[in-house]
Amino acid sequence: MAEVLVYVDHVDGAVRKPTLELLTLARRIGEPVAVALGSGAGDTAATLAEHGAVKVLTHEAAEYADYLVVPKVDALQAAHEAVSPAAVLVPSSAEGKEIAARLALRLGSGVITDAVDLEAGDEGPVATQSVFAASYTTKSRVSKGTPVITVKPNSAAVEAAPAAGAVESLSVTFSEQATGTKVTGRTPRESTGRPELTEAAIVVSGGRGVNGAENFAIIEALADSLGAAVGASRAAVDAGWYPHTNQVGQTGKSVSPQLYIANGISGAIQHRAGMQTSKTIVAVNKDAEAPIFELVDFGVVGDLFDVVPQLTEEVKARKG
Amino acid sequence: MSLRIVVTVKYVPDATGDRHFADDLTVDRDDVDGLLSELDEYAVEQALQIAENSDDDVEVTVLTVGPEDAKDALRKALSMGADKAIHVEDDDLHGTDAIGTSLVLAKAVEKAGYDLVVSGMASTDGTMGVVPALLAERLGVPQVTLLSEVNVEDGKVTGRRDGDAASEQLEASLPAVVSVTDQSGEARYPSFKGIMAAKKKPVESWDLSDLDIDADEVGLENAYTTVESASERPARTAGTIVKDEGEGGKQLAEFLASQKFI
Ligand SMILES: Cc1cc2nc3c(=O)[nH]c(=O)nc-3n(C[C@H](O)[C@H](O)[C@H](O)COP(=O)(O)OP(=O)(O)OC[C@H]3O[C@@H](n4cnc5c(N)ncnc54)[C@H](O)[C@@H]3O)c2cc1C
Ligand SMILES: Cc1cc2nc3c(=O)[nH]c(=O)nc-3n(C[C@H](O)[C@H](O)[C@H](O)COP(=O)(O)OP(=O)(O)OC[C@H]3O[C@@H](n4cnc5c(N)ncnc54)[C@H](O)[C@@H]3O)c2cc1C
């Protein structure tokens, strides 16, 4: 069976959920071979093996943290040479897409970004993309070279599928370009204790209607009662009420949770682009004409300052 | 000293219009108004600021690869203050994918001459966010992308990249390819004077032969990716909408419980 390279997104050895979803998709096409790079790479093997990696290629070097993108491209290229895979799958983060594109160019391949599903096909893997702010669904494939495909978080279930996960060290020679862009400083994002926005099963978002940074406490309280991540519209972010890392939409994060709760958000096309593929959508808005209501499974026309706290109390009461 | 900046800008269908696909599964550009991708306005803005803050002799050139009407995008960028424009237009470019587009842009940037390329974070139609990285790979220069803050001084570019896990401070020597986000600073509106001046600014037109690119390297037929189908997403079935009369939160909780979320 053909092998499929899976690029591992991890933080000091802790594998992030989208990578495990990639392993599920990779198994539809062939045998997953994971590539883990940088500090803690070796610590990823057990988790990856549990989810189907037959092999884990690792390489630790300071370059992966000290320089932008290119060292990782060099490593994936080396892994491609070593394995001759049927496809290369990369998580669709901003960095993941850049790595994938440069790799594809080097391999003489095409690249497909932001796939939301992947199936085996007669002429190679077929990727589903959700485009034009999720108003169209396309199916595409790479027609030249080894397909390089990036996949969005929450596109597949994480499945247990124990495999050997044999660790092999990858030998990588860095290119001249590898040290072109130096990372001279790094401020890790503060952890909020809440789930990662792109990975969360439930996202509770606030928009301009929240009307102030201090009022986001209402949104956070609802999120915490549901174990959800907190999102924000660009209007709320631009006003300085909530950090940009929490922005949902075209220029923020794209989320696809089981449940999305929009509070005081009108539903502009650029916001929809980041949340329209959510399974269930709920909104609270005082304007019955707000476009967000076109998307909802359940909507409440009302003042969020009345509705949201009542909902939070009710959730807490029901959860006991 | 002089500094040559090339800003890559894309002409896209208006996101608030009814965007759809043509029969050959490329973007239908006939029925929807086109415009300069809003996210590329940020690239033009940062290039102009770099020019304004520099003691060097700076020239800002805007470059687009696109159909005839893409001139509108160039005009807008010129009216914001760019010095000159290059339009790469060729019938054989129809349907070119990201790998092919990056080839055309790279050849055009090289022909124009550059010390710094400034791109947007992503287009508002394809939204891939990969062209700047591809350009850097092709040109063999540093990629300094997704910056929310950018500075150019003493032959170096520095900036802040806000990533998923951390905010990073980056540094590279020129020549380099930069891309900037919508957090980099509001783009200016063209002034009346700017609009008038833009009409007199030079717009060069190049085709594939000017760039020594063969027709079989680009276009739909030669793309590295193939779109097999495109279908309109079925409209979401109309949901239940209630008016809050004191029980809205409870009714919402009831719905969430019925869906097993609580
Ligand atoms: C290139 C580009 C990229 C963009 N990217 C993004 C993006 O990534 N994400 C994004 O969100 N936007 C993005 N935007 C902006 C987008 O167009 C909208 O301006 C934005 O989404 C509006 O945010 P909002 O819904 O919070 O505010 P508004 O549109 O002002 O809506 C506020 C809503 O709150 C309701 N409201 C007010 N008070 C209350 C109350 N007390 N109780 C209940 N409801 C109340 C109002 O009825 C209204 O519907 C982008 C725009 C452009 C041009
Ligand atoms: C819905 C949709 C999905 C697509 N999916 C794929 C895919 O999976 N794989 C693929 O290979 N192609 C794909 N394409 C084609 C691809 O969008 C175009 O080839 C495009 O030229 C490059 O990608 P982008 O628009 O996403 O640019 P991005 O990488 O998002 O653009 C980033 C920046 O690059 C510059 N730039 C991009 N294009 C131009 C241009 N023509 N002229 C000047 N500057 C430019 C701008 O500064 C822009 O801000 C898709 C197109 C559409 C409409």
Structural domains counted in chain A? 2
Q: Is residue A193 part of a domain?
A: no
Domain-located, residue B257:
no
Q: Is B155 on the interface with A (CB under 8 A)?
A: no
Q: Is the CB of A207 under 6 A from ligand 1?
A: yes
Domain total of chain B = 1
Task: Look at residue A189 and tell me if it is in a domain.
Answer: no
**pLDDT tens-digit series, residues B133-170:** 999 999 999 999 999 999 999 999 999 999 888 999 99
The answer to whether the CB atoms of A101 and B125 lie below 8 A apart is no
Residues A146 and A29 in one domain: yes
What is the pLDDT, as a whole number, of residue B235?
82
* Pair B206, B87: CB distance under 8 Å: yes
Q: Which atom of ligand 2 is nearest to the CA of B88?
A: 42
What span, in angstroms and rounded, lies between the C-alpha atoms of A185 and B160?
Answer: 9
Could you tell me what percent of chain A has a pLDDT over 90? 97
The answer to whether residues A123 and A26 belong to one domain is: yes
With a 6 A CB cut-off, is B127 part of the ligand 2 pocket? Answer: yes
On the 0-12 / 13-18 / 19+ scale of CB atoms within 10 A, B196 is exposed
* Domain edge (last residue) among A179, A212, A234: A179
Q: Any chain A CB within 8 A of the CB of B256?
A: yes
Cα dihedral across residues B13, B18, B24, B25: positive or negative: positive
What is the mean pLDDT of the segment spanning B96-109? 98
CB B164 within 8 A of CB B51: no
The answer for A 40-79 residues in CB contact with B (under 8 A) is: 68-70, 73
Please, are residues B5 and B58 in contact by the beta-carbon 8 Å criterion? yes
For residues A81 and A36, membership in a common domain is answered with yes
**Contact residues, chain A, for B173 at CB < 8 Å:** 180
Residue A174 domain-assigned?
A: yes
Residues in chain B with CB shorter than 8 Å from the CB of A302 are 243-244, 248
Residue B104 lies in a domain: yes
B31 shares contact with chain A (CB less than 8 Å): no
Contacts of B133 (CB under 8 A, 6+ apart): A69, A97, A98, A101, A102, B143, B145, B177
Same domain, A163 and A224: no
Q: Residue A34 is part of a domain; what is its CATH number?
A: 3.40.50.620
Q: How confident is the model at residue B96 (pLDDT cuts 50, 70, 90)?
A: very high
Taking the C-alpha atoms of residue A25 and residue B161, their distance in angstroms, rounded to an integer, is 30
Chain A residues near residue B223 by CB distance under 8 angstroms: 110, 143
Is the beta carbon of A246 within 6 A of some atom in ligand 2? Answer: no
Same domain, yes or no, for A27 and A80?
Answer: yes
In angstroms, what is the span from residue B123 Cα to ligand 2's centroid? Answer: 6
Distance A254 CA to ligand 1 centre (A): 15
Q: What are B28's two structure tokens?
A: 């239908």
Same domain, yes or no, for A35 and A149?
yes
CA atoms within 13 A on the CB side of A252: 27
Residue of A nearest to B97 (CA): A110
Written as six digits, the tokens of A155 are 């596109």
CA of B42 to the centre of ligand 1 (A): 20
**pLDDT confidence of B101, banded at 50, 70, 90?**
very high
d(CA B73, CA A188): 38
CA distance A92 to A26: 15
Residues A20 and A169 in one domain: yes
Mean pLDDT across B210-222: 95
Residue B204 has pLDDT above 80, yes or no: yes
Distance B100 CA to ligand 2 centre (A): 10
Amino acid making up residue B194: G
Decide: A93 and A113 in contact? Cβ < 8 Å. no
For residues A104-123, average pLDDT? 97
Q: Which residues contact A214 (CB under 8 A, 6 or more apart)?
A: none
Of B19, B183, B246, the CB nearest to A244: B183
Say whether both A147 and A233 belong to one domain: no
Q: Are residues A207 and A170 in the same domain?
A: no
- Asked whether residue B76 carries a pLDDT value surpassing 80, the answer given is yes
**Domain assignment of residue B260, yes or no:** no
Cα distance between residue B116 and residue A177, in whole Å:
16
Report the DSSP pairing between strands A10-11 and B57-65: unpaired
Q: Looking at the domain assignment, is residue A187 inside a domain?
A: no
Give the domain range for residue A106. 3-179
Asked if the model's pLDDT at residue B1 lies above 80, the reply is: no
Report the chain B residue with the minimal C-alpha distance to residue A115. B128
**d(Cα A138, Cα A278) in Å, to the nearest integer?**
17
Q: Are residues A156 and A266 in the same domain?
A: no
Mean of pLDDT values over B69-77: 97
A157 contacts: CB under 8 Å, gap ≥ 6? A21, A24
A227 residue type, one letter: G
The CATH number for B15's domain is 3.40.50.620
- The pairing of strands B176-180 and B116-120 is parallel
Q: Which residues lie below 8 Å from residue B49, measured CB to CB, with a gap of 6+?
A: B185
pTM: 0.96
Domain contains B235:
no
**Structural domain span for residue B9:** 2-217
Mark yes or no for CB contact A184/B158 under 8 Å.
yes
Query: Where does the pLDDT of residue A28 fall: very low under 50, low under 70, confident under 90, or very high at 90 and above?
Result: very high
Average pLDDT score over residue span A60-64: 98
Residue A203's pLDDT band (cuts 50, 70, 90) = very high
Could you tell me if B97 lies within 8 Å of chain A, comparing CB atoms? yes
Residue A192 lies in a domain: no
When the pLDDT of each residue in chain B is averaged and rounded to a whole number, the result is 95
A232 contacts A248 by C-beta, under 8 angstroms:
yes
Alpha carbon of A139 to ligand 1 centroid (Å): 31
Say yes or no: A152 and A255 in one domain: no
In a domain, residue A246? The reply is yes
Alpha-carbon distance of B129 to A94, in angstroms, equals 7
Residue B125 domain-assigned (yes or no): yes
Residue-level length of chain B: 262
Beta bridge partners of B171: A182, B158
Count H helices and E strands in chain B, helices first: 6, 13
In the sheet where A259-263 sits, what is the strand order? A229-232, A202-206, A259-263, A280-285, A298-301, B240-243
Q: Any chain A CB within 8 A of the CB of B111?
A: no
Residues A142 and A287 in one domain: no
Give the CA count within 13 Å in the CB-facing half-sphere of B66.
23
B236 belongs to a structural domain: no
User: Is A131 inside any structural domain?
Assistant: yes
Tell me whether B39 touches chain A (CB under 8 Å): yes
Best of A12, A16, A105 to mutate (most B CBs within 10 Å, chain B): A105
